[in-house]
Amino acid sequence: MLGTLTILLLCQLAGELIARLLHLPVPGPVLGMLLLFAGLLLRGGVPRAVQDTAGGILRHLSLLFIPAGVGVMTHMERLGSEALPIAVALFGSTLFGVAVTAKLMAALLRRGTDGETRP
């Protein structure tokens, strides 16, 4: 488990270094996840040790949200003063996401499984 955690953290570190050195607008952990994915593709599968470690992390994922919750609580005053813009942004982005998904689904259903466009 320790070796697998080391691999996961090294992928995250490599992603963070790449993002900072190349001044990319992508978070380092996302690049690290892509590096891990590429490595697993090259290997041809996910080793059992990685599956077990990832499962253990996912079982206790709720613990990882505690620091984020504390961060939100420290900014409650600011969240209260900017509640309307935050609510509008959340509501608007949700509506936009649903609309785009509906349009894409409609287009894919028109296309059909045989690849031909249907009326």
What's residue 22's pLDDT? 94
pLDDT digit string, tens, across residues 25-62 = 999 999 999 999 999 999 998 889 999 998 888 898 88
Between 44 and 116, the more confident residue is: 44
Tokens of 14: 């490599």
Predicted model pTM = 0.58
- Collapsing DSSP states into helix, strand and coil, what is residue 44? coil
Does residue 105 sit in helix, strand or coil? helix
Strand runs (DSSP E) across the chain, as ranges?
none
CA 86 to chain CA centroid, Å, is 21
pLDDT for res 102:
97
Calpha distance 42→82 (Å, rounded): 47
